[in-house]
Amino acid sequence: MKINRNDPCWCGSEKKYKKCHLQFDEKLKELKLAGKKIPTRKMIKNEAQIEGIRKAAAINSGLLDYIEEHIHAGMATEEIDIMAKEYTEKYHATCADYQYMGFPKHICVSINDVVCHGIPSKDIILQEGDIVNVDATTMLDGYYADASRMFMIGNVSPEAKKLVEDTKKALEIGIASIVPYQSCVGDIGKAIETFAKANNYSVVREFCGHGVGLAIHEDPYVFHFEPNERTVTLVPGMVFTIEPMLNLGKRDVFVDADDEWTVYTEDGSLSAQWEHTLLVTEDGVEIISK
């Protein structure tokens, strides 16, 4: 349905269309005429929604800061789960992972050859030399933010340290590839995969980044490898995660048959992941949660 200049904008901002997304839509029309794939309106957040996501993100990043201060060898991963629950409750937020599609805990803790979705347990104890990914998703007032960090427990091997540091570089390279109105989702994947291959890592393909903000998982699907398909152009108002998972060995993974969540490298090699929630702006990218 056509929107007139003085009608309320489609984004829900309650502003007049001419003062909100009219010029934005004109730019998208030009992109479409140029053969670009443009995002749907559902992928675009308005100012109020972005502010809500920022508030959730502040708690999410604060939680990861808190974990970073306390994580150590000898602690059970269950302790990290308790920390996540108590920290978010302190700020009147919730851990969005809890019971999401049946996930039994509040946060994901993935150690060494666990790629993602590691389930905290009182029986899993962090050891000297472990590399650990902690993945947190926080919901506040209906808004979501998602990020993960790697932690090195004590003295880790040189190859493990390099993997952790290079996976963070891969994330940063993916972010640097974003040019509003010019680059597309596939450019992020190409940049990450090119870096990974140059450094002899494999890129996990089964799990990638995603839109986030009004739900845990939204469109677009954000590839960490060069996809064999057209992908949407990245434009202001899009909020999504980039979360590359790099393996020291082959990219093949499997899901634990018993808990149906924990993802391991098929060959037992180390895996690392970093994740940020990002907002595309008119002149670049804002890191909302990290």
| CATH number reported for the structural domain that contains residue 152 in this entry | 3.90.230.10
pLDDT band at 65 (very low <50, low <70, confident <90, very high): very high
Query: What does the alpha-carbon distance between residue 58 and residue 84 come to, in Å, rounded to a whole number?
Result: 14
Residue 178 bridge partners (DSSP): none
Take residue 243 and report the two structure tokens written for it.
């979360």
The residue type found at 61 is S
Phi, then psi, of 171 in degrees rounded to 5: -60, -45
pLDDT of residue 165 exceeding 90, the answer is yes
Take residue 194 and report the two structure tokens written for it.
């090119």
Condensed to tens digits (0 to 9), the pLDDT of residues 97-123 reads: 999 999 999 999 999 999 999 999 999
Query: What pLDDT is stored for residue 243 in this prediction?
Result: 98
Strands 276-280 and 209-211: unpaired
Exposed/middle/buried for residue 169 (C-beta within 10 Å: 0-12, 13-18, 19+)? middle
Is 172 inside a domain boundary? yes
pLDDT band at 1 (very low <50, low <70, confident <90, very high): low
CA-to-CA dists, residue 163 to 167, 171, 195, 234, 274, angstroms: 6, 12, 12, 28, 11
pLDDT of residue 76 exceeding 80, the answer is yes
Query: What does the alpha-carbon distance between residue 46 and residue 224 come to, in Å, rounded to a whole number?
Result: 27
Average pLDDT over residues 201-209: 97
Across the chain, the runs of DSSP E, i.e. the strands, are 94-95, 108-111, 114-116, 131-140, 143-152, 202-203, 209-211, 218-222, 239-242, 245-247, 253-255, 263-265, 271-273, 276-280, 285-289
Take residue 181 and report the two structure tokens written for it.
């109105």
Taking Cα atoms as reference points, which of 119, 245, 120 lies closest to residue 193? 245
Number of separate domains in the chain: 1
Is 245 inside a domain boundary? yes
Secondary structure element (H or E) that encloses residue 265, with its range? strand 263-265
Strands 253-255 and 263-265: antiparallel
Average pLDDT over residues 40-60: 98
pLDDT of residue 39 exceeding 80, the answer is yes
Q: How much is the CA Rg of the chain, to the nearest whole Å?
A: 20
Is 278 inside a domain boundary? yes
Query: What does the alpha-carbon distance between residue 160 and residue 240 come to, in Å, rounded to a whole number?
Result: 28
Taking Cα atoms as reference points, which of 275, 289, 268 lies closest to residue 150? 275
Domain hosting residue 82, numbered range: 39-289
SS3 65: helix
- Residue 39 CB-half CA count within 13 A: 28
**Entry pTM:** 0.96
- Residue 168 CB-half CA count within 13 A: 11
Mean pLDDT computed over every residue of the chain: 97
Take residue 269 and report the two structure tokens written for it.
């090699």
Contact assessment for residue 129 and residue 153, using Cβ atoms and an 8 Å cutoff:
yes
Take residue 116 and report the two structure tokens written for it.
């993602």
Taking Cα atoms as reference points, which of 137, 167, 97, 146 lies closest to residue 277? 146
SS3 18: helix
pLDDT band at 2 (very low <50, low <70, confident <90, very high): confident
Take residue 36 and report the two structure tokens written for it.
């670009």
Condensed to tens digits (0 to 9), the pLDDT of residues 258-279 reads: 999 999 999 999 999 999 999 9
